[in-house]
Amino acid sequence: MELSDKENIIYWAKRLYERQMSPSTSGNISIKTNQGILITASGTCACDLEKDDIVLIDYNGNLVEGNKKPSSEKIMHCEIYTKRDDIGAIIHCHCPVICAYCVAGVPMKAPILPDFAVLYDEIPIVPYYCPSTIELAQVIGEYFEDGYSAVLLKNHGIVLGANDLKSAFYQLDLIRAYAETCFGAEILGGAKPISKKEVQELRMLYRKK
């Protein structure tokens, strides 16, 4: 069964919540449509999302359709879509295990797991700016313009963009798994990285698939 755009957002939002990646009313999700950007409304919880909690905005963040206030981070979403044509869906969340990196100021770049190493050289940390501000949106936009599709926000959370929502969720889940693995490995004496040569081999292999 084909899901409508709003049903699609609700479907993946629930999975995000179930994986403990979006606590309480933090975080927001959007997708690009022919009409504009569909984005979750302010103060909504990923677990309890209903169709009315998703509103349509234009690329300047103005409300086009819906009765609720769009997410306060709407400008960040607009900025990313404006900078990157290839991105069709964005998830911003405050996943606790990922936020540990954000608050410690540690970027994710250890090539310790093949699936992570194939996708990412580094998930950098954007300097701290007050959430929901234009300044934060602009600096995130610059990182995406430079080619990053996932960035950590200092003392805040993570933003990830992908072709579609399913792919965004899968990548975010991978990043969460990376974070949890690193924490576990620390207890066991620290993670041992894969060599650069091995990473190159992996990327060649995955590209052939």
The residue at minimum Cβ distance from Zn ion is 157
Task: Work out how close the CB of 84 gets to Zn ion at its nearest, in angstroms, rounded to a whole number.
Answer: 19
Distance separating alpha carbons of residues 209 and 206, to the nearest angstrom: 5
CB closer to Zn ion, 31 vs 110: 31
Could you write out the three-class secondary structure of 97-126?
HHHHHHHHCCCECCCCCHHHHHHCCCECEE
CB closer to Zn ion, 88 vs 157: 157
Distance separating alpha carbons of residues 90 and 160, to the nearest angstrom: 6
Closest CA to 8 of 41, 45, 49: 49
CB 112 within 8 A of CB 185: yes
In Å, how far from its chain's centre is CA 192? Answer: 26
Residues 6+ apart with CB under 8 A from 88: 31, 32, 162, 163, 164
Task: Work out how close the CB of 66 gets to Zn ion at its nearest, in angstroms, rounded to a whole number.
Answer: 20
For residue 52, what is the DSSP state?
A: G
CB closer to Zn ion, 89 vs 110: 89
CB 90 within 8 A of CB 73: no
Distances (CA, A) of 133 to 29, 91, 128, 201: 17, 17, 11, 41
Task: Work out how close the CB of 27 gets to Zn ion at its nearest, in angstroms, rounded to a whole number.
Answer: 6
The reply to whether 70 sits near Zn ion by the rule CB under 5 A is: no
CB closer to Zn ion, 91 vs 110: 91
CB closer to Zn ion, 70 vs 157: 157
> Per-residue x/- mask for Zn ion, residues 13 to 52, rule CB under 5 A?
----------------------------------------
Task: Work out how close the CB of 93 gets to Zn ion at its nearest, in angstroms, rounded to a whole number.
Answer: 8
Task: Work out how close the CB of 195 gets to Zn ion at its nearest, in angstroms, rounded to a whole number.
Answer: 36
Task: Work out how close the CB of 83 gets to Zn ion at its nearest, in angstroms, rounded to a whole number.
Answer: 19
Size of the residue set binding Zn ion (CB under 5 A): 1
CB closer to Zn ion, 77 vs 110: 77
Q: Which of residues 144-183 bind Zn ion (CB under 5 A)?
A: 157
Task: Give the binding site for Zn ion (CB under 5 A).
Answer: 157
